[in-house]
């Protein structure tokens, strides 16, 4: 497989887009020491200082069974969670849809973007950002974010975590069924009252199930069930 190390890039997801246009192979990985325009979900930016984080994206040409971006987010979340647990003793959990948390703090974010090449071939840029050895965050992030270093008191090996995450992801990707039960066992959102937004409305409900494509089934306070596919979700209480 191709693994490309870049010292500085705008965003590794953007690098995937450029390389997909040049028909780079399925499974190629782009890892950057630093991103100048790291992207988060919902148009946010992703703090990507050099030296301490792990920022990488995979280029995937999806087959039908795996075509929704949410199904890639699901696989990546489980892979990162397993890799962190294998290499540290941190109780990493998944906050649906795309955050890896330790306790209340975010350690990793995932951004799966689907687009088409100029020739009309679908591809997914599956981006993963992990706070590995950061000791401080900008003020606005300090309350919500942490790093594996801050959680364990030890500097962690970024290369080992990168390779472990890739190997967990490859294993999950080659399985024919979505690993819903394993995901559910590590998901802090399930069974909780959540607040989510839809078409500018704020709604309340209980997160009751993860669907095979990574979507969330919610039981609304009016008794109706609703499928939530992305967007802003917060766990209550």
> Could you list the residues that contact ligand BTN (CB under 6 A)?
11-13, 35, 38-41, 44, 46, 55-57, 98-99, 109-111, 127-129
Task: Give min distance, CB of 179 to ligand BTN, in A.
Answer: 21
Classify the C-alpha dihedral 145-31-158-111 as positive or negative: positive
How far is Cα 99 from Cα 91, in angstroms, rounded to an integer? 14
Strands across the sheet containing 201-210: 225-228, 216-220, 201-210, 193-198, 233-235
CB-nearer residue toward ligand BTN: 40 or 219: 40
Number of other residues whose CB lies within 10 A of the CB of residue 104: 11
Residue closer to ligand BTN (CB basis): 107 or 210: 107
CB of 225 to ligand BTN, least distance (A): 27
Provide, rounded to whole angstroms, the least separation between the CB of residue 123 and ligand BTN.
15
- Which of 206, 223, 153, 210 has the alpha carbon at shortest distance from 182? 210
Minimum CB separation of residue 56 from ligand BTN in Å reads 6
- If we measure between CA atoms, which residue out of 26, 231, 30, 3 comes closest to residue 127? 30
What minimum distance in Å lies between the beta carbon of 53 and ligand BTN? Answer: 8
Q: Which is nearer to ligand BTN, 56 or 72 (CB)?
A: 56
The smaller minimum CB distance to ligand BTN, of residues 54 and 90, is found at 54
Residue with tokens 């500085």: 8
Question: Which secondary-structure segment (H or E) carries 206?
Answer: strand 201-210
Q: Which is nearer to ligand BTN, 115 or 206 (CB)?
A: 115
- Using DSSP's 3-state secondary structure scheme, residue 23 falls into coil
């Amino acid at each position: 497989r191709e693994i490309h190390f870049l010292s500085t890039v705008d965003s590794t997801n953007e690098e995937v887009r450029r390389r997909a246009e040049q028909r780079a192979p399925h499974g190629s990985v782009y890892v950057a020491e630093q991103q100048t325009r790291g992207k988060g979900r919902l148009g946010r930016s992703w703090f990507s200082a050099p030296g301490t984080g792990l920022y990488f994206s995979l280029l995937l040409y999806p087959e039908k069974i795996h075509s929704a971006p949410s199904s890639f987010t699901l696989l990546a979340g489980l892979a990162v969670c397993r890799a962190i647990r294998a290499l540290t003793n941190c109780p990493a959990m998944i906050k649906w849809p795309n955050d890896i948390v330790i306790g209340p703090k975010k350690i990793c974010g995932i951004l799966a973007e689907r687009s088409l090449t100029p020739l009309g071939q679908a591809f997914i840029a599956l981006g993963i950002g992990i706070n590995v050895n950061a000791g401080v965050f900008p003020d606005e992030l300090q309350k919500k974010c942490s790093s594996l270093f801050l959680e364990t008191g030890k500097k962690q090996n970024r290369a080992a975590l990168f390779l472990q995450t890739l190997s967990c992801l490859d294993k999950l990707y080659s399985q024919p069924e979505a690993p819903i039960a394993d995901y559910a066992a590590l998901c802090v959102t399930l069974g909780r009252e959540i607040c989510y937004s839809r078409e500018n409305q704020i709604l309340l409900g209980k997160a009751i199930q993860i669907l095979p494509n990574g979507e969330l089934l919610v039981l609304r306070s009016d008794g109706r069930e609703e499928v939530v596919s992305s967007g802003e979700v917060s766990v209550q209480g």
